[in-house]
Amino acid sequence: MLSYRHAFHAGNHADVLKHLVLLELLDYYNRKDKPWYYVDTHAGGGCYALDSEQADKTAEAADGVGRLWGREDLPPAVAGYVDAVAQFNPHGRLLFYPGSPALAMTRARAQDRLRLFELHPADFESLQRTFASEQERVQVRRADGFGALKSLLPPPSRRAVVLIDPPYELKEDYRRVVDTVRDALRRFPTGTFVVWYPMLARAEARSLPERLAELGAESWLDVRLAVRKPPRDGFGMFGSGLYVINPPWVLPQRLEAALPWLAERLAVDEGAGFDLEHRIA
């Protein structure tokens, strides 16, 4: 249960999609002065050295953010994402990759708050170190984010982006995602909930967006980015998706402008592509 370490995957194609969308959401929330909360149920270690033993072992960032680094033809949404990553690499070389909380912090204003949960002991300690100087705005707890989320909803400002991004190492995670979102919508029906999911051959992964749609949210967006053909043996992730409940009305247009370019640049083979479905009430 505690074997997953995001350091092995930092900056890969899934991070590119997830973090591009996250920054778009927070940029939209920043259009109003009223404070927002960012809640991360599986926050990870905060920031990752791409020359570490874990990251170097898989080198997944090379085919993710590495393919975007230094380019001058980035669509606006992609450019915003790359600029945020660049804040952690001030000398121009791509040496560090910020996790979701660190990227959220690039958009946080004085009045905004981050609430982060992480269960893995080593990642929890890293997360604490990352935000040691931000204890007024950021709270870090070693806890199971699935269960802990309910204590924060609704937030005082009634404005929040909640990222639910488990490792899906256990089949149980798929069920817990649906149960967690169902409960969260009862407590806070106007919140923006973002569920990341892997594109895998396994039935639980394929059916997760449908199960989330069955929760009945009036506004939703489902975006998927594949970088390769599904493997013949049925094993391995060939892309990823995000199911966003209560997305801003501008998000589909922003993604439609970025996804074709992104799919082409991150393609591993001819199976690469994207899909975007949405209903904005």
107, 31 contact by CB (below 8 A): no
Is-catalytic flag, 233?
Answer: no
Q: Are strands 160-164 and 37-40 parallel, antiparallel or unpaired?
A: parallel
Q: What is the mean pLDDT of the segment spanning 57-78?
A: 93
Q: What is the pLDDT of residue 57?
A: 61
Q: What is the mean pLDDT of the segment spanning 108-125?
A: 96
165, 196 contact by CB (below 8 A): yes
Token look-up 């004085």 returns: 110
Sign of CA pseudo-dihedral 84, 63, 10, 41 = positive
Q: What is the pLDDT of residue 4?
A: 52
Question: What's 199's DSSP letter?
Answer: E
**Residues 255, 246: Cα–Cα separation, whole Å:** 15
40, 101 contact by CB (below 8 A): yes
Sign of CA pseudo-dihedral 151, 47, 35, 279 = negative
pLDDT digits (tens, 9 = 90+) for 260-269: 999 999 999 9
pLDDT digits (tens, 9 = 90+) for 177-215: 999 999 999 999 999 999 999 999 999 999 999 999 999
Q: Give the N- to C-terminal CA distance of the chain in Å, as an integer.
A: 38
β partners of residue 194: 163, 244
Chain mean pLDDT for the chain: 95
Give the H or E element holding residue 278: strand 273-279
59 pLDDT band, cuts 50/70/90, is confident
Strands (E), the chain: 37-40, 47-49, 96-98, 113-117, 138-141, 160-164, 192-199, 220-226, 239-245, 273-279
**Residues 250, 206: Cα–Cα separation, whole Å:** 27
On the question of pLDDT at 249 being above 50, the answer is yes
Which residues have CB under 8 Å from 265's CB, separation 6+?
Answer: 67, 68, 71
Of 40, 112, 123, 165, the active-site residue reads: 165
Q: Are strands 96-98 and 220-226 parallel, antiparallel or unpaired?
A: unpaired
